[in-house]
Structure 1
Amino acid sequence: MSRAQRYTNLAAVILPLIAFVVAIALLWNSWVRWTDLVLLAVLYVLTGFGITIGFHRMLTHRSFQTSPLVERTFAVLGSMAVQGSVIQWVSDHRKHHAHTDEEGDPHSPHAGFAGGGVRGTLRGLFHAHVGWILTEEGGANRAKYAKDLVEDRGMRRISDNFHWLVLLSLGLPTLLGFLISGGSWKGAVTGLLWGGFVRIFLLHHVTWSINSICHFVGTRRFAVDDHSTNVFWLALPSFGEAWHHNHHTFPRSAEHGLARWERLMDPSAALIRVMEKAGLVWNVVRITPERQAEKLAARDPQPVA
């Protein structure tokens, strides 16, 4: 990772946190309108799907095939989530799957923190949630873990222009806030604050919770060697990513919610189904009940502490 990218990532962690604190303070002084919350919600959904469908299920695991236009669109939306460039993100995540909860996993709460008691547990959770960004992010060998993207000229262009997409991610809500408020500078500032920084902050922490919480507490029902778990209360805000134990059992599956009630809380899979019916995606990977039964460890999910 270049120095500029490292500084961009560092700023992407610190500035939204500061802005979130500022936003809470300003909220009591009426520095939030319903239009600001609409901007936050719409951009949260768009950039969130950019991560879950684009960066993760489409590009990292190739859970379905699609056209270059759809692929590039989701790559741009994922970049606007400000979680790193597309090639960097995919490289790190594929490395995570190659070394899950073992030495070499960039963001496991377990690897390197075993036997440490309460202190070791807290250190592991902090590392998995946010600490790894300062020490491990961008460390995966791109030529090894994302060769297909490195050789894709369009993806290289999107990845190399990540810093401009960060500016777009912040400039768009600023401009929309300005226009919606009738040209008010206050509307521009609140648009940037809520539709930009606060939205990035919230999506960051939901995504990071998959790394930390979903490898520490939750339920498991399949026979896998890692510590991945399903956490139902994170399913909707993470657009289905919190069915993380299911995902680690069947990484190529486009649907992370496998049980009937889990599918109701997997919005990413629902959107993939809609795109499939519209002819925008095809060859969608799904897991049959028979394959699930082969991996079944127990009839009833068991809590993990």
Structure 2
Amino acid sequence: MTAPSDVIDDAPEADTSPAEEPMATLGGENKRTIEQVALALFIVIPFAALVAAVPLAWGWGVSWLDLGLMIAMYYIGCHGVTIGFHRHFTHGSFKAKRPVRIALAIAGSLAIEGPLVRWVADHRRHHKYSDHEGDPHSPWRYGETLPALLKGLWWAHMGWMFDREQTSQEKYAPDLVKDPALRRISRQFPLWTTISLLIPPLVGGLATWSWQGALSAFFWGSLVRVALLHHVTWSINSICHAVGKRPFRSRDRAGNVWWLALLSCGESWHNLHHSDPTSARHGVLRGQLDSSARIIRWFELLGWVSDVRWPSKERIAARLKDNVTEAA
């Protein structure tokens, strides 16, 4: 990969006022061995549960309570990442009132995809060098032959997370580092991880008044849910940068993958996102479901968010390769 010549930094403008306390966030620019071990466990154990879920559901079924807990926790975490971590904190697609910012930061943390500041720093770096040298998780890292692409897909999907060298949080997310509340939430990632894993068994145990109900809820609402959400999110890095339709002009290979849209809360309309990163809506063409954009619209109507960067029909048309819009 070669360095792009038209790098655009889409990060919101940083607050340059002096900080009142140390700029410490969870994790530095080098990942420790204990972090890599913990990461491996959080990949292997939930994935094993996801694999086991198929024969278990086929043989014994899944209760409505467990299914409800799994879906509820999945979409709380998913929208916390897509609306909060991604569209708000990374790209500044809208402004949010302080309580909403805090709630989005916590909801995104419940997805167990890493501390807020590190997540944002990685993603801003990804956009700065997308599919070029410097991109932390491009599937084209090793070349374009089939063996190279297969190796690259593995790297983009999860291999990159084991790289000891981390993205500089001071450089790529200075605005979040300088916010005491957001920095605290980022440092408290182990706490949010624990809460995220314990909510389903607590609800399941209290609802059924049994340890069996708690264990069943933990299996479906915690382990299976985490594995499914992780692999859907990672698929945006891998699958959506390797295949998919590209109706919009962009300087990388981000594509639209329709069958991931519902599970990814609208993130898999990835081509438009890389064509217009600050847009609050990614699924802009007719029939493209984007639940994250719909919720942002509800927040706007309630007065919780403002200055939403909705894409106009003219803006969409200008980015289409054929310059003809079918915007919904």
Note whether the superposition's TM-score is higher than 0.5: yes
- Counting only pairs closer than 5 Å after superposition, residues 200-279 of structure 1 correspond to structure 2 as 200-262=226-288, 265-279=289-303
| 8 A contact 1:47–1:81 mirrored in 2 | yes
Question: CA distance change for structure 1 residues 109 and 293 in 2, over 3 Å: closer, same or farther?
Answer: same
Shift of 1:172: 0.6
1:114 aligns with 2:138: no
Equivalent in 146, 151, 156 of residue 178 of structure 2: 151
1:130 aligns with 2:158: yes
| Gap regions ≥5 residues in structure 1 | none
SS at match of 2:256: coil
Report the AA paired with residue 279 of structure 1: G
Equivalent in 167, 178, 193 of residue 140 of structure 1: 167
TM-score, scaled relative to structure 2: 0.86
* Alignment correspondent of 2:218: 192
Report the AA paired with residue 294 of structure 1: A
Equivalent in 69, 74, 91 of residue 61 of structure 1: 91
| 8 A contact 1:229–1:245 mirrored in 2 | yes
TM-score, scaled relative to structure 1: 0.92
1:45 aligns with 2:75: yes
Equivalent in 162, 165, 172 of residue 192 of structure 2: 165
1:86 aligns with 2:113: no
* Alignment correspondent of 2:320: 296
Instruction: Please tell me the root mean square deviation across aligned C-alpha atoms, in Å.
Output: 1.7
Q: Which has the higher helix share?
A: 1
* Deviation per residue, 1:64-111 (Å, 9 max, x gap): 011111111111111111110111110100000010001111110012
SS at match of 1:219: coil
Question: CA distance change for structure 1 residues 223 and 24 in 2, over 3 Å: closer, same or farther?
Answer: closer
Shift of 1:150: 0.4
- Between 1:21-30 and 1:77-86, the stretch displaced more is 21-30
Give the Cα separation in 1 of the matches to 2:82 and 2:285: 19
Identity %: 44
Question: CA distance change for structure 1 residues 7 and 68 in 2, over 3 Å: closer, same or farther?
Answer: farther
Report the AA paired with residue 289 of structure 1: K
* Alignment correspondent of 2:203: 176
SS at match of 1:261: coil
Give the Cα separation in 1 of the matches to 2:245 and 2:84: 26
| 8 A contact 2:317–2:324 mirrored in 1 | no
Give the Cα separation in 1 of the matches to 2:89 and 2:237: 18
Give the Cα separation in 2 of the matches to 1:187 and 1:286: 44
Shift of 1:294: 2.4
Give the Cα separation in 2 of the matches to 1:300 and 1:216: 25
Shift of 1:28: 4.9
| Gap regions ≥5 residues in structure 2 | 1-26
| 8 A contact 2:317–2:323 mirrored in 1 | no
Give the Cα separation in 2 of the matches to 1:66 and 1:9: 31
Report the AA paired with residue 222 of structure 1: F
